[in-house]
Structure 1
Amino acid sequence: MTSINTNSSAMAALQTLRNVNSNLTSTQTAVSTGLRISKASDNATYWSVATTMKSDVGALGAVSDALGLGAAKVDTAYTAMDSSISIVSQIKDKLVTAKEGSVDKTKVQAELSQLQSQLKSVAQSASFNGENWVAAASGGDASVVSSFVRDSSGGVSVSSATYTFNSGAKGNVLFGASGGSIDTTKGILGTVDASAGGYSVSSLDISSMTGGQIDSAMTMVETALSAMTSAAAQLGSLSSRIDLQTSFASSLSDAITSGVGKLVDANMEEESSKLSALQTQQQLAIQSLSIANSSSQGILSLFR
């Protein structure tokens, strides 16, 4: 029986066309965006995980930038400390020279004064982004962002690596700092050594020293070299840790990005095949609907 009120064939063809169009829209979206899950309605669970992890990747990027800034600070401090070790080694050489009885100590002191001025210049210049790690107030610490952490409960935190200025008797700094200026009475090179006649490395004056006093000054300089070497070793270790963490942050970011891709990225080969098939199905559904609609037109011939 043919009915002019209800066309079951047309209704079936129309429903098929709707389904095909819906699937075609989803496939076209996947092809154009490269994502099979681009919004929460596609898959709420995977979308939520992917969105959170993408945010973490952004945080890791910020950590990498902070590590780069920290590395620059550490490298600046290490360069200054290494240069100062070389200068203090030259001071020790001059003291050895001054032990020779025929040497004019006044001329040796003139050379020492130039080296002492250079030490202060190095310490003053070793500043990066307003921070100076070799001329700092004792009691303070410097920190470098090292990692972004998300724990099992979903809580997040940022951890830091610390360099302590006041470690040891004279600290890990060449000079102290006060009110934004270098304090040449503190630090490894500024702290007075009573056994060396009340001098520090930066204020040492051998012009009128006896051989025994020069020996005491040499002991003071050697102690300073040991402290500076220890501080440089700590800076080197911190630099190595920053390099390792930078590499890890980059690898971790790549791993997370890859994991997110597995959750939400579209399989382009599969989507391409689906697109071709759905386009064909759409054409067939339109043709089927046209045939179903035209079948009712035959009834008109019965009334002629």
Structure 2
Amino acid sequence: MVSVNTSSTGVASAALRMINAQLATTQNRIATGYKVNSAADNASVWATATKIRSDKTASEALKSSISTAKAQADAGSAALDEVSKILTDMKTLTISAVAAGGATDADANKMTTLVNQAKAIINGASIGGKNVLLDTTNNNVSVNLNVAEGVSTNMTASITASDVLSASNASFKDVLTSLAKADIVAGLVTKIDTAQTEVGKISATLTGFSAQMDSSLSFIDKLNDIRDTAIGGLVDADLEKESAKLNALQVKQQLAYQALSIGNSAQQNILRLFQ
């Protein structure tokens, strides 16, 4: 039965509006890849995802600081490796000179060259404007991770200040200064051995610090992977599911248009009865 007072197309129109709204939502999810693209979609889920993203951004900034500190330690360690080789050459030269009955001018020139090389390497071990071999302050890196409300995990590592070329560091001062021919004597071998021992100590400290930074970086990377997974579970759309839904809604949309067309035709047929 068709009524001329109440449009029979009302239900079809309402259904079409609902289908079009659902279709727009599904198309947006497929286009953006998100099922929750703003607070309007789901305020609580969006707030949680935003907080996790903020945590990840903060950890990335921390990761940058840790990477820089690690690079500074690695640069210092690499420099000391080269200095250790030079000290070995200096020791060999000294032993040979002493065995030959005394240093020559040529020996003194070679020694000066070696000393200058060592100084240049130490002075050049700078990353980001900081040289851990010449700094007068400790190099500290603190990693604070809030693992639960009111609970935090602190991972702190530091390199103790060790200005290897300062006057207070006698082991280096005695051998990495201008050495005249008269300084190349048996006693210099002992001083070089002492400097080598100091090189080993500082290098071990730098290597240990670098290893701690590696561990911290690895943990942050794993934590950020977990955060990415959590964010994905909260806001990412299931594209396979949404594609299937899109096809179903497009079929429903076509049927709704046909129903609306049939309803309009029925009213026109009634009007023809009065013509």
> Per the shorter chain, which TM-score range?
0.7 to 0.9
Structure 1 stretch displaced more, 112-121 or 202-211 = 202-211
Q: 1:278 Cα shift?
A: 0.3
Structure 1 residues 295 and 27 mapped into 2: Cα distance closer, same or farther (>3 Å)?
Answer: same
Partner of 1:293: 264
What pairs up with 1:201-280 in 2 under 5 angstroms? 201-203=175-177, 205=179, 207-208=181-182, 214-215=186-187, 217-280=188-251
Partner of 2:169: 187
Q: TM-score, normalised by structure 2?
A: 0.84
Structure 1 residues 284 and 155 mapped into 2: Cα distance closer, same or farther (>3 Å)?
Answer: farther
| Contact residue 165 and residue 176 of structure 2 kept, 8 A | no
| Contact residue 92 and residue 218 of structure 1 kept, 8 A | yes
What pairs up with 1:64-79 in 2 under 5 angstroms? 64-79=63-78
Partner of 2:90: 91
In the alignment, structure 1 segments of 5+ residues that lack a partner are: 166-171, 177-184, 192-199
What pairs up with 1:37-186 in 2 under 5 angstroms? 37-100=36-99, 102-107=100-105, 108-137=107-136, 140-144=137-141, 147=143, 149-153=145-149, 161-165=157-161, 172-176=162-166, 185-186=167-168
Partner of 1:4: 4
- How many residues matched? 274
Identity %: 31
CA-atom RMSD in angstroms: 3.0
**CA-to-partner distance for each residue in 1:225-247, whole Å, 9 max, x for gaps?**
11210110111122223333333
Q: 1:286 Cα shift?
A: 1.6
Q: 1:106 Cα shift?
A: 4.5
Structure 1 residues 210 and 23 mapped into 2: Cα distance closer, same or farther (>3 Å)?
Answer: closer
Mapped partners of 1:35, 1:6: distance in 2: 41
1:32 aligns to 2:28 (yes or no): no
Mapped partners of 1:114, 1:189: distance in 2: 19
In the alignment, structure 2 segments of 5+ residues that lack a partner are: none
Structure 1 residues 113 and 54 mapped into 2: Cα distance closer, same or farther (>3 Å)?
Answer: same
| Contact residue 46 and residue 263 of structure 1 kept, 8 A | yes
SS at match of 1:149: strand
**Which has the larger share of helix?**
2
1:16 aligns to 2:6 (yes or no): no
Structure 1 residues 4 and 159 mapped into 2: Cα distance closer, same or farther (>3 Å)?
Answer: farther
- Which of the pair has the greater relative contact order for Cα pairs under 8 Å at 6+ separation? 2
